[in-house]
Amino acid sequence: MVNCLNKNYYVCTGCALLCDDIEVEVSGDHITKIKTVCRKGFSRIGGCIEPMPCTSDGKSVDITTAIKDAASILMNADNPLIFGLGNSTSGAQKQAIELAKRIGAVIDDSSSFCQGPIIEAILHEKIHTCTLDDVRNRADVIVYWGADPSNSHPRHLSMHSYFPRGEERQHGWEDDRTAIAIDVRRSHTAKICGNRFYQIPLHTDAFLIEALIDALSGKVPKVPFEYDIKKILELANVLKKAQFGVIFAGLGVVYSIGDMGTMTRLMDKLNEVSNFHLIPMMGHYNMRGFNQNLFEATGYFNRVKFEKRENGFDVKHGVDYSIMEVLNTKKTDAALIIGSDPMSCLPRSTAEYLSEIPLVSIGPCENFTSRVAKVTIPSALSGVECGGSAVRMDGVKVTFEPMIKTARLSDEEILKRIMEAI
Amino acid sequence: MELGKFLTAPEYGFVIVTYRDIFQSAALEKSRFGEEYRKLSAVIKMDSGDIKKLGVVEGDTVVVKNACGKVVVRVEESGYDVPHQGVAYMPNSPWSNSLVSADTGGTGVPKYKMIKVMVSNARGEAITGMM
Ligand code: SF4
């Protein structure tokens, strides 16, 4: 919570922008008015209509029983899985990592099937990055690549990347900034970019990257699809002339190029001829926090298994420990899901295995996964009912206070109590 | 009785690309089981030429299926200025995920934005319910 001009500002945890200028009016334990947020944040802060029940084996139980039953499921498992945590505070994530060590679990989050490759490149310092504050104050060329923040991170353009008049961009978007969209369809963000929209066929991003590298190297660019080469040269020219350029990489480009090798080469080339940065469009509010916390603890940012040994554990890492593979190969025999809904966000045929194993689901709201769980534990909605800290999509740490009080425990407290019961 | 009812509706191949929609995300925060989320999720956006080819109009339902699953969803015209016959768009949701293959080719990353499907006129069949 920030106090400014005698007003209290809160943080929205609706997405990884973690907007920190939210005003609320509260009466008792209820929020009566929410100001400044976008539609998505408004809906999140307003809360869900199906709160998570506290149950074990389909029956309502008290929290102590639910925690005891959850602990017993995890203790009795040979290959437990811990998944989720992108919607949990850093404190809860660290607690979950400790729990994973204790029970010898696989631990993974949704970066495993989305922004993982970019985060890896950034954490290994292979890609030049910057903060959203740098973008707001300095960026003159902004590229939304396979990203549509108007829908995924609704205040991205107005808070940081395009519309604000930053320190070195006093003339704002009208004169001081050039926004570019590269996508397979004219998204809402692409519409804002007007004639700086570069539409490419599906899964051809890697070819465009190669063509841009050629153009930036003074060679004639080529692409294996019908495209006006003049447009590629014109785009390369705008990128080259940038004083402070930034690429916001969305899932469109991440899924299309697979590994970050080609993007890293483009970034290297851009930084030879210009000044460019890349920020991943992380979805969940603290996905980057999970990646950083796990990286600090193990040297890996996701897909980790703690294999128990007589004196401690070995850390294993790789695709075999990705949620997709542990579920596809049916290697896990119990799972703890925190603040996530894999039954909804994974391929159905993969996720269905979760309904065959003992499952514990922790979260503020009921979801498709909790409906097949053996134990469900309600938790406080972070940013609204409990405070903590998180890492914004650009790596900046943000701390926040709760807006209202609740009797529900935070994820961190629940995980601590599960640990104590083991 | 219409004879057409007994004939199989022709199927056409499409590639589905998933996307995010702020209205659908807001509905999700409120209730994953509610009518609003279902209405905004069980949707396929198509090129107007493809909609005609399938013999449907906006608001009709179509069957979208492949080896992974089958869903019935509502058709919407994409409104994109560049024609995109053979490519359709669905918001990321349990409906689109019913069609995503479990096979990740050893990467651990499903092909959420490259889903190969067959689409046909659902002839009034209701939208698939989720749980
Ligand atoms: S952009 Fe994201 S963090 Fe900001 S108000 Fe909207 S949902 Fe909340």
Per-residue pLDDT of A25-77, as tens digits, reads 999 889 999 999 999 999 999 999 999 999 999 999 999 999 999 999 999 99
In tens digits, what is the pLDDT along chain A, a chain of 422 residues? 555 555 689 999 999 999 999 999 999 889 999 999 999 999 999 999 999 999 999 999 999 999 999 999 999 999 999 999 999 999 999 999 999 999 999 999 999 999 888 999 998 999 999 999 999 999 999 999 999 999 999 999 999 999 999 999 999 899 999 999 999 999 999 999 999 999 999 999 999 999 999 999 999 999 999 999 999 999 999 999 999 999 999 999 999 998 889 999 999 999 999 999 999 999 999 999 999 999 999 999 999 999 988 888 999 999 999 999 999 999 999 999 999 999 999 999 999 999 999 999 999 999 999 999 999 999 999 999 999 999 999 999 999 999 999 999 999 999 999 999 99
Domains of chain B: 3-121 (2.40.40.20)
**Per-residue model confidence as pLDDT tens digits over A70-110:** 999 999 999 999 999 999 999 999 999 999 999 999 999 99
d(CA A345, CA A417): 28
CA of A285 to the centre of ligand 1 (A): 9
Q: Is the pLDDT of residue B3 over 60?
A: no
Where does A51-111+285-382+409-421 sit in CATH, by number?
3.40.50.740
For the A116-280 domain, the top CATH level (class) is alpha beta
H runs (alpha helix) in A18-175:
39-46, 63-75, 90-103, 116-123, 132-138, 149-152, 172-175
d(CA B79, CA A192): 16
d(CA B7, CA A218): 59
| Contact B116/A at CB under 8 A | no
- Nearest-Cα distance to chain A for B22, in Å, is 5
Q: Do domains A51-111+285-382+409-421 and A116-280 have the same CATH topology?
A: no
Query: So where are chain A's domains?
Result: 51-111+285-382+409-421, 116-280
SS3 A338: strand
Q: Which two tokens stand for residue B126?
A: 């209701």
Strand locations in A210-351, DSSP E? 245-249, 276-280, 304-309, 312-317, 334-338
Q: Using a 6 Å CB cutoff, which residues line ligand 1?
A: A 12, 14-15, 17-19, 37-38, 40-41, 153-155
- Nearest-Cα distance to chain A for B121, in Å, is 23
CA of A10 to the centre of ligand 1 (A): 12
Listed in sequence order, the residues at least 6 apart from A296 whose beta carbon sits closer than 8 Å to its beta carbon are none
For A345-356, letters b (16+ CB in 10 Å) and e give bbbbbbbebbee
- Nearest-Cα distance to chain A for B120, in Å, is 21
Position of tokens 């020219």?
Answer: A237
| Contact A154/B at CB under 8 A | yes
Listed in sequence order, the residues at least 6 apart from A148 whose beta carbon sits closer than 8 Å to its beta carbon are A183, A187, A188, A189, A190, A250, B19, B20
| Helix%, strand%, coil% for chain B, nearest 5 | 25, 30, 45
**Residue nearest (by alpha carbon) to ligand 1 atom 2:** A15
A contacts of B108 (beta carbons < 8 Å):
112-113, 303, 319, 322-325
Q: Which two tokens stand for residue A360?
A: 């514990």
Listed in sequence order, the residues at least 6 apart from A79 whose beta carbon sits closer than 8 Å to its beta carbon are A104, A105, A106, A326, A331, A332, A333, A334
- Of A30, A110, A88, the closest CA to residue A414 belongs to A88
